[in-house]
Chain A
Amino acid sequence: MAARPGWQQSGQMDSSAVIDMDYLDSGDGSGHDTNESDIEHDSPDSKDGKSGLYTSMQKNVASFMFERGREQAKRAYSLYANIDFLRPYFDVEPHIVRSRLLNSMLPRKPTDERQSVPRELYGPTMLVFTMIALLLFQMKTANHAVEEGTLMGTAFGVCFGYWLGVSSFIMVLSYMCNTRIVMMQILSLLGYSLFGHCLVLFLGTVIHTSHDHMLFYLLWGTLGGLSTLKMIAVLASRTRGSSQKMVMCGIVAAIHMLFLIYLHFAYHQMVEEISFLEGVGPHHDFLKKEPIHIISSTVKQAAEMKGH
């Protein structure tokens, strides 16, 4: 059977009688038009022959259309709904996830030997969702109101945007600084380093301090610092050249630490300060108030009240 690129690409090899007729007739790779012209020349002129041929052509076209539709749906499904390519990155045991979480807070001094980075997505994905839940927890506690959009949309955007966006940025940076690391490893490394951020957010929201943020800064320095150190130690061990190491580690450390500060101050209400200024009661009375705007307008109100 001769090769017929047009027919083969459309995947119609087993569907319609038109192909069968073409196959029986000739193997010259001719197209549909040739088949039609052959049919016209070969069919008899009698009415019965024409109507029978017309009926069979109708059935063939219908089955052809159905098969085409089915093929296209299958192709679209396999393209957009196939998650099997992610399966190897979720092949992990609970005790391995636990040990990786703990190791994400234990930096090792970088040496000439490259520190290993697992290519795993279960832990990072769950940490990102945990951070989303903690942000929601934080925003709801502080009665944070978003003028356009939803709290959930904000939390999703911030967390996934950071994980995927900063991973892409680190990928570009690793290309410029000649760091030997692939995208999946960066996603895994950055994802696990969010464990420190989740701990800080959780403790910072649950433990309310009055007037200042010393506890937050302490947690930021210790827990946030440990997870950042771990990440930059791994990146430094995979980078050659001291100036490249400094650029890579400096930028990544700055972004990671500043992100934690942003998470705390952008979505956290200085509850005790406002209640002190307004002279209201303890924390649970504040929850009955109207929802108020984000920190900038709150600071503005506090400044106006101080001026009065």
Chain B
Amino acid sequence: MADVEFQQTHLNDVSLEGDITVPGAPGQGEDEDEEQPSTLDEPVRETVMRDLKAVGNKFFHVLYPKQSRALLQEWDLWGPLILCVILAMLLQSSDTVDKVNDGGPEFAEVFVIYWVGAVVVTLNTKLLGGSISFFQSICVLGYCALPLTLALIVCKLILLGPHTTAMFTVRCVTVLVAFLWSTFASTAFLTEYQLPNRKALAIYPIFLFYFVLSWLVVSHQS
């Protein structure tokens, strides 16, 4: 210990300012500049717009899925929350509000299916040996429900018209396309981190998750 010198003057010059860094939090990727400007003094509008742009960027990646890390590196749960609330609200409308059918169970049902389903699929992916983190997987599964949300909006517009067999067929086809799109988009992002000989085992619960959501969408009668 005798040859160790303590540089007291150097320690006194160290700046104590900086952002709190939490490993794994959004915005903490390796490629980013370490000296980020402080966001405490910026206007709220700017903060909100930045987050909205990030959410919009991720929606774009879901609509044009290709293997990219945009959804994974800077994950967030705003998009999944927005989609879940839209899905639950649109699925819960009921013509008769009475003791049996007051719309409440539909909202809770969709909420539980959405989040518990995403958690179960994520746990399965991790147990199969996937190298993806928990919240990254939830983020991808949540965002990839966008095609189904758009299909639900289209179905609601179709249901405003006459209820014929042809319209029912159109709704089925729309939801089927959305279901395949959601499944394809999520597998494009998630299976990259799975062992190659086990991709089928990881894809099946994702298929089941979006199948249940699709069935809720197609069976909804306003």
Contact = CB atoms under 8 A, between A and B. Distances in A.
Given A93-B197, A94-B198, A141-B219, A291 B128 contact: no
A129 B215 contact: no
Contacts of B216: 140
Contact of B168 (A97, A136, A153, A284): A284
Given A153-B112, A291-B101, A93 B198 contact: yes
A-B pairs with lowest CB-CB distance, top 10? A90-B127, A150-B109, A150-B105, A94-B200, A140-B219, A152-B109, A133-B212, A152-B113, A145-B100, A90-B128
Contacts of B198: 93-94
A148 B96 CA distance: 17
A126 interface: yes
Size class of the contact patch on chain A: 20 to 34
B108 interface: yes
Contacts of B127: 83, 86-87, 90, 122
- Classify chain B: how many residues form its interface, as a range: 20 to 34
A137 interface: yes
20 contacts: A92-B201, A93-B198, A94-B197, A94-B201, A97-B201, A122-B128, A125-B124, A126-B204, A126-B205, A126-B208, A129-B208, A133-B208, A136-B212, A137-B215, A140-B219, A150-B112, A153-B109, A288-B163, A288-B221, A290-B96
B211 interface: yes
Contacts, number: 69
B56 to A, nearest CB: 31
Interface of A: 83, 86-87, 90-94, 97, 122, 125-126, 129-130, 133, 136-137, 140-141, 145-147, 149-153, 284, 287-288, 290-291, 293
Contacts of B158: none
B195 to A, nearest CB: 10
Nearest to A88: B127
B205 A129 contact: yes
Interface string B113-155: 1000000100110111100000000000000000000000000
Nearest to A285: B163
A91 B197 CA distance: 12
A152 B163 CA distance: 27
Contacts of A146: 105
B208 A130 contact: yes
Given A122-B128, A125-B124, A288-B163, A151 B105 contact: yes
B2 to A, nearest CB: 19
B165 interface: yes
A91 B100 CA distance: 45
B197 to A, nearest CB: 6
